[in-house]
Amino acid sequence: MRRFEEYEPFVITVFFLSVIVIAMFSVHPVVVFLTFITGILFYIIRNGKKHIRSHLFFAMLFVILAVANPLVSHNGVTVLFVINNNPVTLEAFLYGINSAMMIVGVLYWFRSFTQIMTSDKLLYVFGIFSPKLSLILSMALRFIPMFRNQAERVKDAQKAMGLYSDDNIIDDIRSNMRVFSIVVTWALENGITTADSMSARGYGTGKRTNFSDYRFGRSDIVLLITDILLFIIVIYVSASGHLDFNFYPSVSYSGHDTIGLIGSIAYGILLMLPVYIEIRGNIRWKYLMSKV
């Protein structure tokens, strides 16, 4: 039984883009709440009791965002109390909570995205649309750790030669600038060497094929079609105004009509797809392990 991260990378990317686009451009409390709850749920299912610091950071961020808005924004007609002649309104307080849920929920989904979509998966997705862009991106990502490691080697060599000093701020800045200049020169020379090597191997002389371990299966197609259909439903309902919600100057919304309810249910189903896949995979894994 496949876990969500084992699906085809393009399908996973489409899902995350669908969720993030809807979440970032909708302020309806139902949509925001679903994004927030399912984002936390999916993250906990995948990581268990790990990453406690991440949860604490997101909790602090939520409180700060929720409290900051009513203290900064004084719009709204329902005044709760006054601080230094500045009214704190109910509408600003509710908008702050809603915005905090939206931002933290999207951050949780982004955190899951970075865990699932590794560098090789991202390069594969970029390679579908532009193989040259994928090649440039892979080379750029390759140079980041190489640049850092080379800088450490140059710094250690200069320390051994007595040229690197960190006794005071001026010497430290001067030494780091010298290391940076050396590493930049090395990177440029390395880039020229790489280009010559690629040219010697015949890059750019004709049509090239690429290899990938990822293949579209039946479950990938089903998930992709389901994702696209649910996304279209939610976008249509939102664009038609059935998920409109306003906090200022007073709370107003489009009402609990049938179409708005359908859009909310479709979005909830969309968010629960990876949660269901992960839970199903965990249950299947534990069942197989019990048979060993």
Q: In the numeric block, which tokens belong to residue 252? A: 């107003």
Mean local confidence (pLDDT), 76-80: 78
3-state secondary structure 100-124: HHHHHHHHHHHHHHHHHCCHHHHHH
Q: Which range (100-114, 208-222, 234-248) has the least confidence?
A: 208-222
Over the Cα atoms of the chain, what is R_g?
26
Pair 139, 194: CB distance under 8 Å: yes
Nearest Cα neighbor of 267 from 215, 216, 230, 220 is: 230
pLDDT in tens, 172-206: 777 778 888 888 888 888 878 877 887 787 766 66
Q: At what angle do helices 9-24 and 29-47 cross, to 10 degrees?
A: 140
Do the Cβ atoms of 271 and 235 come closer than 8 Å? no
Reply yes or no on whether the pLDDT at 221 is more than 70.
Answer: yes
Q: Measured at the alpha carbon of residue 54, what is the angle toward residues 53 and 58, in degrees to the nearest 5?
A: 115
- Report DSSP state, residue 85: T
Token pair of 87, please? 């009214």
Does the pLDDT value for residue 152 go beyond 70? yes
Instruction: State percent of the chain over pLDDT 70.
Output: 90
253 in helix, strand or coil?
strand
Confidence of residue 26 (pLDDT cuts 50, 70, 90): confident
Domains of the chain, by residue range, sit at 4-123+212-290, 131-200
The 10 Å Cβ neighbour count of residue 112 is: 21
**Predicted local distance difference test score (pLDDT) of residue 209:** 64
pLDDT of residue 118: 81
Residue 120: the pLDDT is 78
Per-residue tokens: 86: 């500045």
Residue 210: pLDDT over 70: no
